[in-house]
């Protein structure tokens, strides 16, 4: 192994592979296989780190340095696309809001008591996606006491949505190719806060559907709102995907997640928030087996002091 790595041609080829791999992880071409590879960026970052130690063991310091540099670039990229606060903001005396989001297709009613789970995490507003007729009556009846205000768009396809809230709200929607996006305007101690829930599919029957155009429309709608914004939903991509990064950059939103777990399946649901807010808590909601069910975050107005 040491003899092979000592060859100049081998070192050049290895260097090119490391640099090219890091580039594809951070800036994947619009080719499915490369985009899928990029989804495993946290895992691949640790692979790079492991390879760097292997190079060190065989006294290949130049390759070790290049491997560590690639690891550092991937780590920096992942941190910059997640919540870049090194520590969570301290709770201040300003109003707070707790928001939960579930895609009901991931809930197995035989093993998960959703109503009990909701009361345990205690949100003020819940966003449901893939809200089908099977869920309308059970959720509507079980949640109406604690969440008396609701808006339901029940559909048999994946684009059904529902909002349940403990406080009254106004609602409007905008559509892209018959895919609804809801804008909830909630009046509470914040004044007015806007919560936008969206489902952005990878594939859609209409051949004119373009996912990047849907995300672009979403970013324009967010930019048009003057009040604090929380945007959540299923975006069907990891938060470091170039199109999701473009959405947050264009809309000026921040990511609630501080990091991504090393997992075979990465979550595609996200909560983003505008600069007027701070995320003081964010949690993945999982069942007893560790399967991803949803997300919940707590947000407060920024203190000006």
What CATH number corresponds to the domain at position 126? 3.60.10.10
Domain boundary among 81, 106, 140: 81
What is residue 242's predicted lDDT score, i.e. its pLDDT?
92
- Identify which of 130, 128, 155, 157 has the alpha carbon closest to the alpha carbon of residue 140: 128
Q: Has residue 91 been placed in a domain?
A: no
- Identify which of 174, 178, 140 has the alpha carbon closest to the alpha carbon of residue 159: 178
Cα R_g (the chain), whole angstroms: 22
What is residue 18's predicted lDDT score, i.e. its pLDDT?
93
* Gap between the Cα atoms of 115 and 142, Å rounded: 7
C-alpha pair distances (Å), 32 with each of 29, 72, 178 = 8, 25, 26
Residues whose CB is less than 8 angstroms from the CB of residue 127 and which lie 6 or more positions away in sequence, other chains included: 99, 100, 101, 102, 161, 162, 163, 195, 197, 232, 233
For residues 75 and 109, state if they share a domain.
no
What is residue 86's predicted lDDT score, i.e. its pLDDT?
62
For residues 141 and 112, state if they share a domain.
yes
The tally of domains found in the chain comes to 2
What is residue 284's predicted lDDT score, i.e. its pLDDT?
93
Helix axes 133-143, 114-121, angle to 10 degrees: 50
For residues 208 and 166, state if they share a domain.
yes
178 in the Ramachandran plot: left (φ > 0), alpha (ψ -120 to 50) or beta?
A: left
Domain that holds residue 136: 96-301
- Identify which of 85, 71, 21, 79 has the alpha carbon closest to the alpha carbon of residue 240: 79
Torsion angles phi and psi, residue 285, rounded to 5: -100, 120
Contact 293, 117 (CB under 8 A): yes
Strands of the 254-255 sheet, one edge to the other = 169-176, 179-188, 191-199, 229-234, 269-273, 254-255
* pLDDT single digits (tens) 120-176: 999 999 999 999 999 988 898 889 899 999 999 999 988 999 999 999 999 999 999
In this prediction, the residues of the chain whose per-residue pLDDT falls under 70 are 1-6, 86, 190, 262-264, 304-305
């Amino acid at each position: 192994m040491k003899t092979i790595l000592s060859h100049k041609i081998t070192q050049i080829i290895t260097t090119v592979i490391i640099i090219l791999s890091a580039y594809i992880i951070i800036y994947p071409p619009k080719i499915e296989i490369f985009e899928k590879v990029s989804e495993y960026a946290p895992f691949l970052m640790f692979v790079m780190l492991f390879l760097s130690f292997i190079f060190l063991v065989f006294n290949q310091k130049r390759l070790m340095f290049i491997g560590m540099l690639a690891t550092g670039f991937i780590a920096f990229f992942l941190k910059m696309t997640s919540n870049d606060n090194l520590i969570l903001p301290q709770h201040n005396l300003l109003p707070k809001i707790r928001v939960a989001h579930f895609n009901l297709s991931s809930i197995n009613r035989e093993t998960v008591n959703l109503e009990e789970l909701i009361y345990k995490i205690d949100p003020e507003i819940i966003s449901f996606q893939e809200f089908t007729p099977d869920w309308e009556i059970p959720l509507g009846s079980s949640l109406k006491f604690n969440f008396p205000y609701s808006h339901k768009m029940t559909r048999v396809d994946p684009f059904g949505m529902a909002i349940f809230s403990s406080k009254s709200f106004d609602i409007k929607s905008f559509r892209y190719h018959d895919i609804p996006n809801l804008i909830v305007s909630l009046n509470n101690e914040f004044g007015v806060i806007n919560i936008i829930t969206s489902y952005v599919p990878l594939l859609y029957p209409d051949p004119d559907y373009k996912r990047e155009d849907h995300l672009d429309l979403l970013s324009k709608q967010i930019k048009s709102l003057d009040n604090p914004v929380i945007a959540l939903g299923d975006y069907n991509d990891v938060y470091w995907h170039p199109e999701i990064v473009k959405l947050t950059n264009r809309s000026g939103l921040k990511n609630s997640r501080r990091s991504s777990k090393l997992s075979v399946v990465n979550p595609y649901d996200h909560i983003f928030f505008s600069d007027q807010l701070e995320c003081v808590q964010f949690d993945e909601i999982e069942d007893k087996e560790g399967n991803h069910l949803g997300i919940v975050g707590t947000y407060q107005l920024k203190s000006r002091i």
